[in-house]
Amino acid sequence: MGYKEISKSGNENYNLLDYDMARKKFNWWNDAFNKMDWLPGGGLNNAFEAVDRHVINGKGDKLAMIWVGKNEEEEKYTYLELKQKSDNFGSVMRNLGIKRGDKVFIFMDRLPELYISALGILKSGGIIAPLFSAFGPDPVKDRMEDAGARYLITTPELRQKLDDILPQIKTLKNVIIVNKDSRYKDPLQKGDLSYEDLMQSCCEDKFEIEHTTQYDFAIIHYTSGSTGKPKGVLHRHQAVIQQWLTGKLALDFTPEDIYFCTADPGWVTGTSYGILAPWTNGVTQLIYEGGFGAQSWYKLIEKYKVTIWYTAPTAVRLLMRAGGKIIEKFDFSSLRFIGSVGEPLNPEAVVWGNENYGLPIHDNWWQTETGAIMCANFPSMPIRPGSMGRPIPGIEMSVIDENYEPVPVGEIGALAVRPGWPSMMYAYWEKDEMYNSRFKKGWYITGDQASMDEDGYFWFQGRADDVINTAGHLVGPFEVESALIEHPAVAEAGVIGKPDPIAMEIVKAFVTLNPDFKPSKNLSRELIKFSRSKLSAGIAPREIDFVDIMPKTRSGKIMRRLLKARELGLPEGDISTLEED
Ligand code: PRX
């Protein structure tokens, strides 16, 4: 494992001081469920726990959100303001007739209105479905159709992207347009509603939060698998219990913290740790509309005196590439904890952080399906660079073999978790068989391969399926293949993840062409452009190779494993099922 443990000393007040004792004594009810305020009159609502309870408990004046726009605009919201605005939007939704369990898609950049509307929807009993604003029309259509979207909240320019697909979403009742700072002169299309008008004409005083229970659905996030289109992972209000707990234990939130999460709510990290964990813990959140930038991120950390920073390995590798020199220009003395998630964090990155920020980077592991952090390098414990840390109190994890029995220490097997944790997904939306297939002999099978060392630290070894992890985002090869074969030139497409030093993997496609088409650089560029416009730059292939024959099994399934082995010059393995003509 090659790297020395890194201990962080000096802070004796971590939220988790004695890991072994905490695990031994941990009780979900006393240590987590009971720490929520619960709705007056009974029930649980995650937005109430995130915002309203702080107001009720006399913390209304505390800063909840500092928003910084792409052009360095700034807005600040106290918990009271966030409550009032989200109540207001809850009323708007209620007036529009929202019913408990209606799905509301939010397709916009990280504007304050994204957060206000998300909280308002949750308070009115709806389910939020946030999507990346970079998505092209195809992924938005697939997801809205699959979920049966009732409402869409978006901005004028993003709405234009969807003009062709929205009429096809038969369940859609209203489109609400956020025209921030009146940026657009003519923001509405026929039938659209204006967010600003609705908010102005509505009625925050009269709003009463929906009496949701912990079992009501709150969020749906789409995630990719090896086969088929992405599936909707449904989470309940109950998930907030573990989000709160892990925010405290794994990210060490205290009410004094200024916290910067670089994830977008289109990704589960951006809701679990960009909305619910921080605000239930009463921290001040810095939200930045812009994307990655070493200079801009460092400037924000310095200016707003960020204390806790949660990011992803690809970003860390880009920061490493930007170098240590630029760090010297900034004051990082406020920073006391850095966390990372989404892909393997290479040990060099942990060490580099320690040398350059004076803080090691703490890796932790979880998935859309787990809803919250499951294992972590905790602030109070030595870090083993390259490992994902140890399970949080209350969670049992293991590495198991094909008979679902734990493998010996140090051996590689399937990473599994004992079901029943509070933030466990409730369903894959309308895909029961697939959901059930994830649970075997008392274990939830994560789909990752891992090993565990003698002290209970888990080490990521790879995925057990064909899903591509590019810059922390899971891409289902099928979604990309489906887009490519819509181009008239393409007969078949096989898509793999190709190792990449920064993004971990990039999406690479192999295609066979229809008879009238010839391979060329131009065609390759055209196919990349075509899939970018349909999907998004993040999902579309970055490289395309033309092949004469697509390797397939006798039953006609494309053998991505073989494409990958050939790409990497590795042994082809078992090819007994290969059908090549
Ligand atoms: O393969 C693992 C990888 O990302 C997957 C989960 O991705 P997603 O559902 O998009 O969840 C994002 C929320 C974190 C995992 O199955 N992954 C996540 N964290 C790590 C990781 N791989 C290695 N190390 C990690 N710390």
Which pLDDT value is given to residue 581? 52
Q: Whose CA is nearest to atom 4 of ligand 1?
A: 342
Yes or no: say if 296 and 328 are a contact pair by the CB < 8 Å rule: no
pLDDT band at 2 (very low <50, low <70, confident <90, very high): low
- Where does the pLDDT of residue 1 fall: very low under 50, low under 70, confident under 90, or very high at 90 and above? low
Q: What average pLDDT score do residues 266-275 get?
A: 98
User: Which tokens hold the place of 294?
Assistant: 């070493």
* Pair of tokens at residue 480: 């990309």
pLDDT digits (tens, 9 = 90+) for 466-495: 999 999 999 999 999 999 999 999 999 999
Look at residue 575 in the predicted model and tell me its pLDDT. Answer: 73
Looking at residue 450, its amino acid is A
Mean pLDDT (whole number) for 168-183: 96
Residue 509 — very low, low, confident or very high, per pLDDT cuts 50/70/90? very high
pLDDT of residue 9: 47
Q: For residue 274, which phi and psi values (nearest 5 degrees)? A: -115, -5
Q: Tell me the average pLDDT across 383-411.
A: 97
Pocket test for ligand 1, best of 365, 424, 449 (most atoms within 8 A of CB): 365
Q: Give the model's confidence band at 571: pLDDT under 50 very low, under 70 low, under 90 confident, else very high.
A: confident
Q: Which atom of ligand 1 is nearest to the CA of 272?
A: 13
- Percent of the chain, pLDDT > 90? 91
Residue 81 has pLDDT above 70, yes or no: yes
Which H/E stretch holds residue 154?
strand 151-154
pTM for the whole structure: 0.95
Give the CATH number of domain 468-568: 3.30.300.30
Domain with CATH 3.30.300.30 in the chain: 468-568
pLDDT above 60 for 10: no
How is 175-199 classified by DSSP, letter by letter?
EEE--GGG--SS-PPTT-EEHHHHH
Instruction: Using pLDDT thresholds of 50, 70 and 90, give the confidence band for residue 167.
Output: very high
The topology under which CATH files domain 19-448 is Rossmann fold (3.40.50)
For residues 526-553, give the mean pLDDT.
Answer: 95
Mean pLDDT over 275-280 rounds to: 98
| Confidence at 12, pLDDT banded by 50, 70, 90 | low
Which pLDDT band holds residue 228 (cuts at 50, 70, 90)? confident
79 vs 58, 240, 244, 279, CA distance in Å? 10, 18, 17, 9
| pLDDT tens-digit map of 416-448 | 999 999 999 999 999 999 999 999 999 999 999
Beta partners for residue 559, in sequence order: none
Q: What are the residue ranges of CATH 3.40.50.12780 in the chain?
A: 19-448
Q: What is the pLDDT of residues 328-373, one digit of tens each?
A: 999 999 999 999 999 999 999 999 999 999 999 999 999 999 999 9
The alpha carbon of 546 and the centre of ligand 1 are apart by a number of angstroms equal to 31
Atom of ligand 1 nearest to the CA of 233: 9
Nearby residues of 69 by Cβ (< 8 Å), 6 or more positions away: 75, 111, 289, 290
pLDDT at res. 324: 93
* pLDDT tens digits, 90-121: 999 999 999 999 999 999 999 999 999 999 99
Percentage of the chain modeled with pLDDT above 70: 98
283 CA to middle of ligand 1, Å? Answer: 25
Centroid of ligand 1 to alpha carbon of 222 (angstroms): 14
Task: Give Cα separations from 536 to 325, 367, 403 (angstroms).
Answer: 33, 22, 40
CA-proximal residue: ligand 1, atom 7 (nearest)? 367
Q: Which amino acid is at 53?
A: R
Q: Return the closest-CA partner of residue 391 out of 410, 418, 409, 371.
A: 418
Pocket residues for ligand 1 (CB within 6 Å)?
A: 223, 268-269, 341-344, 363-368, 388, 446-448, 460, 463, 469, 474
